[in-house]
Structure 1
Amino acid sequence: MKPSADVLEIIACSILILVSFVGNVCLFYSTSKCITGGLQTSFLLIISLVFVHLIKNLVVNILKIVYSAGILLDSVGCKALHFTAALTTSLAIWFMLHFALFYHRKLYRIVYPLNRAANLNQQKYSLKEISALWVAGVAVYIPVLVYTKKPEHPNPGNDTASLSTNRIYMDCLTGFGNEQVEFYYGKIFLVLIDILPLAILVFVCFWMALLLLEKKKMTYGDIWIGDDDSETEVLRGAKFSILLMLLITPLWVSHFILVYFLKDLAAYAFIPAVLTALSSGFSALSPFLLMLVNYKMKLVSFCGAQQEKPTAPPADIILSPYA
């Protein structure tokens, strides 16, 4: 006997919750150990991503388990499910774009050094920008929170409906009461606020890949000089941004395509589990990807270079003018 769609979705949600919780808690712990002074922009972005990932799994996937277990959601549960799922998806994309832009700017300054000094108030502005993204995300999805509700007369359950992959969307509807609002806000605006940042993220990461290739070929008077600690941190951040872009973009695009053709795929029992894996896969895998990249670079976290104290060279050694 083949497992039902509900059983497959419960299994998928449970695995994703466990993997994401362990990964994000470990990432938060390793990042918090780095914070000795003020919060740097990279730390703020990583911590923001950790909270977004945990909220998605501890709210959205737990509600999916409750629903798949046969406990019908009321209007409050429907609102929480749709609002949190949409909000965390957009915030993850926005924070990833902010992360990539941050390291692109630093990498560009390494490859093409600027004569003017760096902005000393960058940390304060970054905190304001990240806070503004949280506020903007909540503001954008307030209509979804307000207009999502459970129909008073849901479709009667039968053997066909039990295999339908879109019944959670039928039991939790978002109706704006106006066709123009539904079209321009629900079908265009809510898609653009995800797809445009994703397109910019792909472009920025492609640009960073070109800068990394150019940085690899850089010499100083035909003499190659190794990277210092700050440059190593920038190079790791740029590579990590590219890897995460290669993860989040296919997951979002695949999820969007499957949701668009959901009615045609309703007969397949594995579709709910696949949709859950695509929507929560980034929150589960990205923390381990960050820690894996750092392990390959022989560093524990982004603060690995900061924790190493420079040792004074012996007195009988003549320092190079490039040191």
Structure 2
Amino acid sequence: MPTTVPAHGNDAAGRLKELADATASDSALRRFLHGLPGVDAVGLEARAASLGTRSIKTTAKAYAIDLAISMIDLTTLEGADTPGKVRALAAKAANPDPTDRTTPRTAAVCVYPDMVATAKAVLAGTDVKVASVATAFPAGRAALPVKLADTRDAIEAGADEIDMVIDRGAFLAGRYMDVLEEIRAVKAECGDKARLKVIFETGELSTYDNIRRASWIGMLAGADFIKTSTGKVAVNATPANTLLMLEAVRDFRALTGVQVGVKPAGGIRTTKDAIKFLVLVNETVGEDWLDNTWFRFGASSLLNDLLMQRQKLSTGRYSGPDYVTVD
């Protein structure tokens, strides 16, 4: 039996019915979410820290670096973004190291909706996806019709993936059904045209119990990915909150057969950091998630460090400061 679901059903059919019933009303959803076992914060953080001490040797490290590069959503989400900056970032995603054509491409480029068409033009003919934030990113403070229009604009411009933010105010006020229905509405807008990543902004949810509840809301609402953060607050992705979300997607698949991806974002800057997260994935959910279809890094500076470390492994020395572009 999965560890994060109340054990009311005695068989798989019973547990599936319980999940269906959980979204039937606001009160049912509240009962389900508050019936989830409380998170042992000390145990969670200790396990995340322990997994982070695993030693990765040369051959495995080379594999991990290439895997991490292939999982990056190379991101620029600044008010000062220009078409030129986005074109340069997209070109880097498609060809991260012009001196070594064996370097994997990144999974995606993540931009604001008005920059989707610019990125899409550069990435035409490649397998690099264009992801767009939407739904009044990063605060999520807008009416639903505005959020849906934001999503629609991004998809019409060519976005392959939508990274939406939940209404944290509604969640923290206990309006769980409002959050779930909003995710469902955005998912319906995406249809089969774009995969949906749901951002919780874990640094604003305050407790691990809230992160667990938000994870289940996202999955029950049909998210293709659950994502930690916008990268715009003080606390973003951590090994502990990512481990908690990995446990949630593991348990959700055990109950439903549906696989959901995980995307830690914000604050992951070094190869050492990335490898720690890959170990978390391998040890918690296994090889099925060790692929950019199901695991991503939301990052801007991580790629540069991975490229430097990759070059060090292949040549035995670090290149000069002009080896990688400054994004």
For this structure pair, what is the TM-score category when the shorter chain's length is used for normalisation?
under 0.3
Q: Provide TM-score, normalisation by structure 2.
A: 0.26
Q: Provide TM-score, normalisation by structure 1.
A: 0.26
Q: Which has the higher strand share?
A: 2
Higher RCO (CA < 8 A, seq sep 6+): 1
Larger gyration radius, structure 1 or structure 2:
1
